[in-house]
Structures are given as C-alpha cells and as structure tokens.
C-alpha cells in the first residue's frame, strides 16, 4: 500500500503563542508556555486541554511546541508530548532530541504524562521533564491516564532524566477545569489511555 501517510498539523493559532527567539530561562517560564498552549487549545476548541514544549537546556530557547490533537485529527497518539517530540525531531533532523546527551533538552508538560507519553520520554532523548498538573488532576476531570508504574519517576531518573513536578500546578489545573466547564469532550473514559 504505497502512498499511505499521515501528518500532524498544529492549529494556526499556535504561531501567535510561541516565540523561537524568546529565552524561557526558568522552569516556570517553560511551564507558562506549555499552559498557554493548553489554554489556547481549549479557547480555540482545537483539541484537549494539554500542552507541551521542548526547549534546549543550554540556551533556554524553544525547540518545538505541542498540543493535544487526538479528537480533531482522529489520531489516538496525538498527545501534546508526542506532538512536541515528533515536531522537535523533524525540526532538528534527528530522532534523538538530545543528540546522545550532547545537547540536553527539557520537556515541559502541562499535565503529568499518561502511560503512552511516559513510555516515549526515554526514547525521545530529553534529559529533563517538568510537569504542571498531576495524574490525579487529569483523572479528576474524567481523563484516563492509563496504568503507570508507581515508581515511574525513579525509573526515569535511573535513565538520567530528572523530573520536577508541580511547576505552575494551579494554572495547569485551571486549564483542565476550564476544558471541563466549557463542555470539552472527555474521551477514553472506558479504560483507554488517550488523554495528555
């Protein structure tokens, strides 16, 4: 079956939120962008309430943004983190975002990665993960985050990936609650793991 393909296309409004020249020096600055992407997705009704961004650790500049596009693109893998990782690889021209540790990269996720996204983090090449809302916050609005090991942070850190939780958590939770109150679709509540 030659000629089959699929592509992930970010909504056009994303360009108004991102700035590749800006320096996102602190973890809070990085999370502010992830939350702005998530809130933009809610406000524009272009996907779920999840945003992510990948930054170059050395310069604190944005490499790639990501938003959840599961429903509008009919793609169960189009979670914000996966979208950001895929776009980063495409923009950098390599599948290992951190270039075997020579160019450390940070992933900021507005909500703790679900089971699928957690599995992708070590393969992405990022060396640091910062998280806003927690798994419980996503579950509280109805999303199923999938089955993750209780010691997932220890597992990532054993692979050299540091994790920082609760960065701008109140703002991240606000995005989730805004999505719920606006009538956003809560999908895969029957045991699937399709949300972040």
Task: Give the H/E segment covering residue 172.
Answer: helix 169-181
Q: Which of 81, 112, 157, 185 is catalytic?
A: 81
What is the rounded CA–CA span in Å between residue 128 and residue 131?
A: 10
User: Residue 22 is encoded by which pair of tokens?
Assistant: 């800006």
Does 56 qualify as catalytic in the annotation?
no
- What CA–CA distances, in Å, run from 136 to 10, 95, 144? 27, 31, 10
> Among 117, 55, 119, which Cα is nearest to 91's?
55
Q: In sequence order, which residues have a C-beta less than 8 Å from that of residue 86 and are 6 or more positions away?
A: 8, 66
Within 10 angstroms of residue 66's Cβ, the number of other Cβ atoms is 31
What is the rounded CA–CA span in Å between residue 31 and residue 179?
A: 18
Active site residues: 81
């Amino acid at each position: 079956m030659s000629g089959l393909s699929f592509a992930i296309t970010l909504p056009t409004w994303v360009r108004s939120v991102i700035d590749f020249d800006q320096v996102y020096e602190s973890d809070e600055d990085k999370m502010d962008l992830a939350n702005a992407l998530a809130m933009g997705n809610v406000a524009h009704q272009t996907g779920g309430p999840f945003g992510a961004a990948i930054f170059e650790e050395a310069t604190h500049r944005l490499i790639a943004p990501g938003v959840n596009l599961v429903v509008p693109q009919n793609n169960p893998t189009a979670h914000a983190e996966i979208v950001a990782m895929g776009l980063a690889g495409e923009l950098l021209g390599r599948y290992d975002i951190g270039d075997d540790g020579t160019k450390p990269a940070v992933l900021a996720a507005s909500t703790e990665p679900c089971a699928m996204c957690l599995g992708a983090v070590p393969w992405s090449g990022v060396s640091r993960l910062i998280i806003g809302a927690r798994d419980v916050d996503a579950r509280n609005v109805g999303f199923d985050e999938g089955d993750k090991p209780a010691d997932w942070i220890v597992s990532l850190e054993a692979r050299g990936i540091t994790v920082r939780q609760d960065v701008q958590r109140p703002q991240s939770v606000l995005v989730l609650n805004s999505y719920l109150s606006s009538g956003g679709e809560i999908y895969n509540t029957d045991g699937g793991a399709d949300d972040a």
